[in-house]
């Protein structure tokens, strides 16, 4: 099983703050020397939906890749284990060099470490996602007042979380947008305390089904 070792430290569906760095001026948007303190991932209370690549190396557990995928052949990526995964009889996946992969929308539960499907997978080629209202902070009229240099420094600090929580991050419209496996608002609140509000915008790769 290939999975970031830090994720196995999960003891409860809450964030564990360990030796958190504190800015001199809390809420002032300061960059924290050494970056935010280590965090465990958060479990979802109910069913969630995710879209990504399912990849399985022969003899190993299938993984749900929700972040970057290397465009090699076969592709390379990593993610949480998908419990009891079986490839559907849909012909929507490929196999090469001992690797099987396909892109799917999966509904299931997330305990902070593993993803357990609760409904049959839907190939992304056939998936019709419901339209979501865009975040108002993507509107140029609601641009953040954070400088590119500040956002670049914050992004560098969050890169220390890459193997733990943050899957991708990018700056746009005066904000740093960061995608994590799942957030119930706790990660967002924590980063607001560290950097100030409206600096880092946290998005969940696994979304609650309401």
pLDDT over 70, % of the chain: 80
- 38-52, 79-93, 112-126: least confidently modelled range: 38-52
Q: What is the pLDDT of residues 66-106, one digit of tens each?
A: 999 999 999 999 999 999 999 999 999 999 999 999 999 99
pTM exceeds 0.75, yes or no: yes
**In the chain, what are the helix, strand and coil shares in percent, each to the nearest 5?**
20, 25, 55
Q: What is the predicted pLDDT for the residue at 203?
A: 95
Per domain, the residue ranges of the chain are 5-43+132-208, 48-126
Q: Decide the pairing of beta strands 99-110 and 115-117.
A: antiparallel
> Do 178 and 158 contact (CB within 8 A), yes or no?
yes
The two structure tokens encoding residue 181: 């496996």
Q: What is the pLDDT of residues 185-206, one digit of tens each?
A: 999 999 999 999 999 999 999 9
């Amino acid at each position: 099983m290939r999975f970031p070792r830090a994720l196995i430290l999960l003891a409860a569906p809450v964030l564990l703050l360990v030796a958190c760095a504190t800015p001199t001026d809390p809420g002032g948007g300061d960059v924290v020397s050494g970056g935010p303190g280590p965090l465990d991932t958060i479990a979802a209370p109910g069913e969630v939906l995710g879209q990504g690549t399912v990849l399985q190396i022969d003899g190993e557990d299938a993984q749900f890749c929700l972040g970057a995928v290397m465009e090699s052949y076969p592709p390379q990526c990593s993610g949480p284990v998908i419990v009891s995964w079986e490839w559907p009889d849909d012909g929507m996946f490929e196999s090469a060099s001992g690797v099987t992969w396909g892109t799917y929308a999966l509904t299931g539960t997330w305990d902070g470490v593993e993803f357990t499907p609760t409904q049959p997978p839907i190939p992304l080629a056939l998936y019709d996602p419901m339209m979501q209202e865009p975040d108002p902070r993507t509107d140029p009229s609601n641009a953040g007042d954070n400088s590119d240099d500040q956002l670049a420094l914050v992004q560098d600090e969050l890169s220390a979380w890459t193997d733990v929580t943050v899957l991708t991050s990018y700056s746009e419209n005066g904000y740093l947008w960061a995608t994590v496996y799942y957030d119930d608002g706790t990660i967002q609140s924590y980063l607001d305390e560290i950097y100030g509000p409206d600096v880092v915008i946290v998005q969940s790769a696994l979304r609650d089904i309401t």
